[in-house]
Copies of this chain bind each other. A is one copy, B any other.
């Protein structure tokens, strides 16, 4: 009998905490040591994540016990750093942070974080003790651009992306009110979305000449899960060469695939996959990409990183049945 990896979840009542929990419950090599939530301590987890009724009798705890192999930090942005400053976590405990505190190289308590996009950094993630999990839009946009950056092809990038309501978290707000959001579309953080910085950081890692000219317009969509992105870039390369470039780039990455026909969002909902599709007119290339914002864009990628950090099959616990419809 294989020894199980002991995992703890901090911030287990939120969306990414809940998805991490759902994935770990079915991960054969993992044993969940605790699910932490200050505000829900003592309640069964299925009182909050009501779909888990009949799946688990675990109870939220507010006690912090760090006798685990890996900690998933699923807290609001800014809270992970504070948490690691205020609590002593043994350096033998690996940390995967789903917030945005460490994506740009910040350190805390002697810990250096690797940017956890396996398609970019798998070799170093394999040896990492601390991983900063990428943002959701950042994941979808980067996966559409990394192969181009790897060949020095990026200049100006024009990107529009649309995200589901779960991207906005559990908090009740006007833009997550059903009456407002149903059948509605709107834009937000036009050209100023916080993920642009981490995207540019990754693109520069592959293409030193890239100037960071990514013009990104995010839209709010009237669905709950998923991100669909279309980026326009200029290139003289033929569509055939470009498809070849992308397919080779992702050939040994199990979750990112280049399609030969138009993709749609629901192909990836409730999976850890990213699908990409390329189209070209004149010298304009359009790259479409789609992910589930809570899985490949958050908790699924966190588990993918855990698998790599612990030498497991990258796909362990992530062969998920898509919702499809």
Contact = CB atoms under 8 A, between A and B. Distances in A.
A246 interface: no
A321 interface: yes
Interface stretch (A31-39, A91-99, A160-168): A160-168
A262 B181 CA distance: 14
Contact of A23 (B177, B254, B321): B321
Given A53-B259, A185-B228, A190 B279 contact: yes
A51 B268 contact: yes
B191 A286 contact: yes
A225 interface: yes
A324 B53 contact: no
Interface string A247-280: 0000000110101011111111111010100010
B165 A179 contact: yes
Interface residues of A, number: 83
Contact of A178 (B224, B254, B323): B224
Chain copies in the assembled complex:
4
Contacts of A50: 261, 263-264, 267
B190 A321 contact: no
Interface stretch (A3-11, A103-111, A146-154, A213-221): A213-221
B183 A267 contact: no
B54 A325 contact: no
A232 B217 contact: yes
A63 interface: no
Contacts of A281: 190-192
Given A185-B228, A191-B279, 13 more contacts: A26-B319, A53-B257, A53-B259, A53-B267, A55-B319, A162-B162, A180-B264, A186-B262, A190-B279, A190-B286, A191-B282, A269-B323, A294-B325
3 smallest beta-carbon distances between A and B, as pairs: A172-B172, A160-B160, A186-B264
